[in-house]
Amino acid sequence: MTKELELAGIPTVQYCNMTPVAQAVGVNRIMESASIKYPFGNPDVPEAIEYEERVGRLRVALDRLTSP
């Protein structure tokens, strides 16, 4: 799906657990998720720390979107 969006001119970042599969398929921008069960966060840490982790991951994703 990511490749089709890119072909349509929509830049994307694929957030996934299995990065080798995404690379094999030819995805341009890949972000490795934290875990399979909780790809965007970690419920085992305090809420403030998890929030900072999520914001940091979002910033990295946006950075990858805007870089060639």
pLDDT in tens, 1-38: 888 998 999 999 998 888 899 899 888 899 998 788 88
Instruction: Please provide the average confidence, as pLDDT, over all residues in the chain.
Output: 89
Q: Among 59, 57, 63, which Cα is nearest to 38's? A: 57
* Distance, CA of 59 to CA of 15 (rounded, Å): 13
Question: Does the pLDDT of residue 62 top 80, yes or no?
Answer: yes
Question: Does the pLDDT of residue 68 top 80, yes or no?
Answer: no
pLDDT at 41: 81
Higher pLDDT, 62 or 41: 62
